[in-house]
Amino acid sequence: MFWQEACENSSLKDLPFKIELNTQGQLLMTQVKVNHSLIQGKIIGLLYRHCCQEGEALAKCAVKTQKGTKVADVAWASTKILDIIQTEIECSIAPVVVLR
């Protein structure tokens, strides 16, 4: 399976899991807990307060890697990188900061 197919698959929408793909295109699902979401929000706030370059924080950002599509819990992309990735299904280049 490719990331585009996973995004378009209606049976995968609204699941309470973080979904990623491994190198064989197999789906990997991880439970998401409320406390995890709270921590993500706090990290995003810290990034906006302390990041030294212009950009945006991203939550649940899909990043294409050599080991499949991985989903960053939180990422920070510079405006230069955002210009490239903002219309992509998965980031072709990684944001400046990626936290999983």
23: its two tokens: 């190198």
Confidence class for position 36, pLDDT limits 50, 70, 90: confident
Beta bridge partners of 59: 74
> What integer is the mean pLDDT of 91-95?
95
Strand ranges (DSSP E) for 27-93? 27-31, 55-65, 68-78
Four-way CATH pick for 3-99: 1.10.3720.10, 3.90.1570.10, 3.40.190.150, 2.60.40.2300? 3.90.1570.10
42 close to 62: Cβ distance less than 8 angstroms: no
What is residue 13's predicted lDDT score, i.e. its pLDDT? 85
- Has this prediction a pTM greater than 0.85? no
List the beta strands (DSSP E) in the chain.
Answer: 17-21, 27-31, 55-65, 68-78, 97-99
Q: Where are the domains of the chain?
A: 3-99
**Residue 24 backbone class (left: φ over 0; alpha: ψ -120 to 50; beta: rest):** alpha
